[in-house]
């Protein structure tokens, strides 16, 4: 591809930092993290398919403090990407572009994704060993 001396748009550090920019980059970061996290899902399913011993190993790894930490991060990334993804779908449909709404929906995304994470973990703890 020919390199021409076209003017470039300013780099990131030129713009003043805005709260909504954090959500923008977090959407991408959580997307990449979730793609990595799918390895864990496929491992878990494959372990279950290969037998009780392999599944017990997988449950042991996931149930360790490090496994739970990864799972907690995965769950928040999942809820964040879900909530912010819905925000993006509204934008795609042409709604919520004005500054006030974009700010409000950013705040709602942060709060709701945190709340859903807490609810999911409380539900998980209350169901623990129930099956």
Partner 1 sequence: MSAVKNPMRSALGRVRHLGSAKEGVQHWWAQRLTALALVPLILWFVASLAYLAGADHAGFTGWLARPYNALLMIVLLAAGFHHAQLGLQVVIEDYVHREGCKLALLIVVKFAALLLALAGIFAVLKIAFGA
Judged by the rule CB under 8 A, the positions of this chain that interact with partner 1 are 1, 28, 31-32, 34-35, 38-39, 41-42, 45-46, 48-49, 51-52, 55-56, 59, 63, 75, 78-79, 82, 85-86, 88-89, 92, 116, 120-121, 123-125, 127-131
- Closer CB to partner 1, residue 11 or residue 99? 11
Quick one: tokens of 40?
Answer: 């864990």
Dist. CA 87–CA 91, nearest whole Å: 6
Question: Residue 83 to residues 18, 23, 27, 76: CA-CA distances in angstroms?
Answer: 19, 11, 10, 10
- Closer CB to partner 1, residue 10 or residue 130? 130
* Residue 106: CB minimum distance to partner 1, A: 18
Helices of type H across the chain: 19-50, 52-63, 65-92, 99-127
* Residue 48: CB minimum distance to partner 1, A: 6
């Amino acid at each position: 591809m020919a390199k021409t001396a076209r003017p470039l748009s300013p780099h990131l550090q030129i713009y003043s930092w805005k709260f909504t920019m954090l959500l923008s980059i977090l959407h991408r970061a959580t997307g990449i993290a979730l793609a990595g996290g799918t390895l864990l899902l496929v491992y878990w399913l494959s372990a279950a398919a290969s037998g009780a011993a392999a599944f017990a190993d997988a449950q042991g790894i996931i149930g360790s403090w490090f496994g739970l930490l990864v799972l907690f991060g995965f769950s928040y990334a999942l809820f964040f990407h879900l909530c912010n993804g819905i925000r993006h779908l509204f934008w795609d449909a042409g709604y919520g572009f004005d500054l006030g709404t974009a700010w409000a929906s950013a705040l709602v995304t942060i709060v709701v994704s945190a709340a859903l994470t807490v609810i999911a973990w409380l539900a998980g703890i209350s169901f623990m060993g129930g099956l």
